[in-house]
Amino acid sequence: MGVDSKQKVLLVLLAASIVSVLIALILSLIRSVDVPLPPGTKYGMVFDAGSSHTSLFIYQWPTDKENNTGVVSQNHVCDVDGPGISSYASNPPAAGQSLVRCLDEAMSIIPAEQQKATPTYLGATAGMRLLSLQNKTASDQVLAEVSKTISRYPIDFHGARIISGQEEGSYGWITINYLLEAFMTYTFSGHWVRPFSSTIYGALDLGGASTQISFIPKTNIEDVTEKAEFKLYGFPYTIYTHSFLCYGQNQALLQMMVKAMEGKDLTKPVSVPCYPKGYQETRTLQSVYNSPCTAKSAPSTPLNQTFNITGTGNSTQCYELLQTIYNFSSCAGKSSCSFDGVYQPPVVGNFFAFSAFFYTFDFLNLTSGQNLSTVQNTVQAYCARDYAELVLTYPNEVKTRLRDYCGNANYILSLLLKAYKFDENSWKSISFMKQAANTDIGWTLGYMLNLTNMIPSEAPSTMKVHNHSIWAAAIFFIVFSLALGLVMLILYFR
């Protein structure tokens, strides 16, 4: 064979080899047996009936992937007008009526043909827990009225109930780790893989009436009442979780006010270091002692008596005052204890702090991983500002929030550092976040996932499989390419 002919043959074989390799690569990337029509979408709704407000979360997911990790996404959030449903104890029908606007909004979003198959839940948290302790009849009436209103809509309503603090903490923990694909993830190679345990996040939740901490400790959980066990995707999880009723930020500030008033002559203004300088207000004793969290401290004087408040804006004194609302003496001699005698193993791992943790620190621009010293200095600087200046600087902010940010920020610091026992090093493990994977972090998604069985207790089988004929074709082209290469080498060296 001449040189030119030999070169032509080599070029043809080289071109065929390259084409074969490309075909093989393309075929190897095809991951499904067939190409189905675009899947339909299912919807789910959860009302988060908190102590200070109610929100309706609408979730959606492809109908053919209910057990696939991370496919549930947040479609819409509607904030209900008015306060939390526990505020309607004296007028339960108004609690139901307050939900109408958001329900109508949801019906305009969810296609009519999908509405009857939309699972819907209402979970009430610490505000309703407190109301139930105070007046169970009123609590039951409020739940009955919101159920009556929701039941009028063409949806698959599963009822309204008060969830426990442990459930709230556990579902928040599930939500975070589900969204971050920490339980199970589907790999490019087509296999379900369980990530290393170090990727599991702890959850820190702060509401108006309660706060929750949930995480997997390094040590065995000694108190079984603080333990929650799950089997998710075939793997067991044991977490420590505790909910502190009366230690949400609103109730904590009420307890702070009680401490600020102790031993004071109420005919004179009460100095409150957690309120900005220049803030003044006249309040009734009823406004402080009308909560089950403070009622035991109520004086014998008539609760319609008024007293005056003057803000002094001193962050250090505020922090010290807030520490007095915890009972740390009950933890004396106990190595694993937070406060009020509650068992807690040492915090470990990475944490997501959400809800009021995020909103307070977001206002202060402290959600970008600032170190503890920077956080403390920022809080101190805010507390020192004059109230009149704050109102001018933030004209669109609710005035009571401007008043409370100093106290709320110092409460967060006292809760995390003194109660939960984070320190300067472990502080770095806390991320203050509102969302993960474009979905709000909270207990509602975990609640829906659990009640709809969308996280199976057993590991799901591989839901996407490679077509054997495609793989056979890919292997054929790979072998063919190798054979061509061998022929080319033989021809070249002859």
Q: Would you please indicate which residues are annotated as catalytic (active-site) residues? A: 168
Report the DSSP pairing between strands 439-440 and 435-436.
antiparallel
Integer angstrom CA distances of residue 338 from 15, 329, 334: 71, 10, 9
Is 406 within 8 Å of 313 (Cβ atoms)? Answer: yes
- Other CB atoms within a 10 A radius of the CB of residue 284 amount to 14
In angstroms, the CA 477 to CA 340 distance is 70
Handedness of CA 96, 97, 98, 103 (dihedral sign): positive
Burial 60-85 (b: 16+ CB within 10 A, else e): bbeeebbbbbbebebbbebebebbbb
In angstroms, the CA 12 to CA 176 distance is 56
- Those residues whose C-beta lies under 8 Å from the C-beta of residue 406, and which sit 6 or more positions away, are 274, 275, 276, 313, 315, 318, 379, 382, 383
Beta strands in 322-477 (DSSP E): 351-355, 430-432, 435-436, 439-440
